[in-house]
């Protein structure tokens, strides 16, 4: 049901890098989680009709699809699973939901991998002077910065701070302008937020197709609110800087949890996921952290998956490997 951009750029296009994150937020509004008798429910579309199901069943449906896919390839029954999670997801609440969802389909989750720690391990051992490592990633559902402390002698790695951001910066900017100028809170309405998100995606598509400027037209709000809304014009540089500012703000909020002078808290930076190989992101991180080593020569996401697959192969029972990125993408394409 969500608008799907037809971007001629690769999947790690900086202009579109937060498009799925924007759809993630839209679907949270269109299909909000509600509680009844301490049970979480979510609305989903089934045959064109909105149906309310327990949130645990929602994730069970996803895990069942992964289980079926794995069994088709392996030609045997899956009874165990290994799941890698961003640190912000790796808490008791989310683990309980996923464990309960897995139990419904007859699967036991044998291991949750804390993604930033295992991303750091892909570059281990660290030199003696490296004590604090920033792991930065963005994927389908948002972006996450995690500050890790490396014990002397590489005897252990601990996450000491983490911050996750959701949404699309361009959509957020348009929402703020509508509220500041007209008192319109588009984020309170899932349908309006959906339309604003689609309008922003159209503008991003135009920029990535080579047009020097693109228009975000929100005139569809005029009739309902009785105001005159002028189209907003953006060029490629403006949207690029908007996204880079969003990234920098996420990193700063993470580091401020533990340091008054955040940028001096980092000895080394590791890129994960779609952030690997984007020149503008690399240049921004080099500007924020001069004279620190920036590690992007590997794809830690691939390392984590290979590690998880090795762990699965060593298990006695048939074990599937699931990434939280795919769970988030499942949510964003409701």
- 1-21 pLDDT tens trace: 333 344 544 456 888 888 888
Q: What percent of the chain has pLDDT over 90?
A: 32
Q: List the domain boundaries for the chain.
A: 19-115+303-332
Give the burial string for 225-258 (b: 16+ CB within 10 Å, else e). eeeebeebebebebbbebbbebbeebbebbbeee
What's the pLDDT at 328? 62
Give the confidence band of 325 by pLDDT, cuts at 50, 70, 90: low
DSSP 8-state secondary structure symbol assigned to residue 154: G
* pLDDT over threshold 50, residue 111: yes
What's the pLDDT at 310? 86
What's the pLDDT at 11? 54
Burial (Cβ within 10 Å: 0-12, 13-18, ≥19) of residue 116: buried
What's the pLDDT at 42? 83
pTM over 0.85: no
What's the pLDDT at 8? 46
Q: How far apart are CA 278 and CA 255, in angstroms?
A: 22
Average pLDDT, the chain: 84
Pick the more confident residue, 168 or 90.
168
Token pair 């949510």 is found at 331
Give the confidence band of 103 by pLDDT, cuts at 50, 70, 90: very high
Instruction: Establish whether the linkage from the previous residue to 125 is cis, with ω within 30° of 0.
Output: yes
What's the pLDDT at 201? 93
Give the confidence band of 139 by pLDDT, cuts at 50, 70, 90: low
Cβ-contact 175, 284 below 8 angstroms: no
| DSSP-assigned beta bridge partners for residue 295 | 270
What's the pLDDT at 147? 94
| CA torsion angle 40 46 50 56 (round to 10) | 0
Full DSSP string of 200-259: HHHHHHHHHTT-SEEEE--GGGHHHHT---PPEEEEHHHHHHHHHHHHHHHHHHHHTTT-
Q: How far apart are CA 294 and CA 135, in angstroms?
A: 10
What's the pLDDT at 275? 75
What's the pLDDT at 242? 95
Burial (Cβ within 10 Å: 0-12, 13-18, ≥19) of residue 111: middle
DSSP 8-state secondary structure symbol assigned to residue 219: G
Q: Which of 9-13, 184-188, 190-194 has the highest mean pLDDT?
A: 190-194
What average pLDDT does the segment 118-123 reach? 87
Cβ-contact 101, 93 below 8 angstroms: no
User: What are the pLDDT digits (tens) for 163-175?
Assistant: 988 889 999 999 8
User: What are the pLDDT digits (tens) for 237-255?
Assistant: 999 999 999 999 999 999 9
Q: How far apart are CA 50 and CA 40, in angstroms?
A: 16
The answer as to CATH 3.40.710.10 being correct for domain 19-115+303-332 is no
């Amino acid at each position: 049901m969500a608008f799907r951009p037809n971007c001629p750029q690769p999947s790690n296009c900086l202009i579109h890098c937060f498009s799925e994150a924007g759809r993630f937020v839209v679907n949270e509004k269109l299909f909000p989680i509600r509680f009844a008798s301490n049970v979480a429910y979510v609305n989903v579309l089934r045959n064109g009709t909105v149906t309310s199901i327990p949130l645990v069943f929602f994730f069970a449906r996803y895990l069942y699809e992964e289980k079926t896919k794995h069994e088709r390839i392996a030609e045997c029954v899956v009874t165990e699973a290994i799941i890698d999670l961003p640190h912000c997801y790796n808490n008791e609440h989310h683990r309980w939901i996923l464990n309960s969802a897995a139990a419904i389909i007859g699967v036991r989750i044998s291991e949750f991998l804390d993604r930033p720690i295992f991303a750091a391990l892909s570059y281990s051992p660290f030199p003696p002077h490296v004590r604090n490592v920033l792991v930065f990633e963005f994927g389908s559902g948002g972006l996450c910065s995690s500050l890790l402390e490396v014990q002397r002698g590489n005897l252990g790695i601990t996450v000491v701070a983490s911050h996750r951001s959701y949404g699309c910066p361009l959509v957020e900017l348009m929402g703020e302008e509508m509220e500041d100028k007209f008192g319109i809170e588009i984020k309170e309405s899932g349908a309006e937020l959906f339309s604003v998100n689609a309008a922003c995606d159209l503008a991003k598509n135009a920029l990535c197709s080579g047009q020097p400027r693109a228009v975000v037209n929100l005139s569809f709000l005029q009739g309902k609110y009785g105001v005159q809304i002028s189209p907003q014009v953006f060029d490629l540089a403006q949207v690029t800087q908007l996204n880079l500012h969003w990234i920098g703000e996420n990193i700063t909020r993470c580091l401020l949890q533990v340091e008054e002078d955040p940028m001096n808290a980092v000895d080394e930076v590791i890129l994960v996921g779609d952030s690997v190989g984007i020149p503008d992101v690399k240049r921004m991180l080099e500007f924020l952290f001069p004279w620190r080593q920036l590690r992007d020569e590997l794809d830690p996401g691939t390392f984590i998956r290979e590690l998880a697959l090795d762990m699965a192969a060593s298990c006695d029972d048939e074990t599937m490997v699931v990434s939280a990125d795919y769970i988030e993408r499942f949510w964003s394409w409701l």
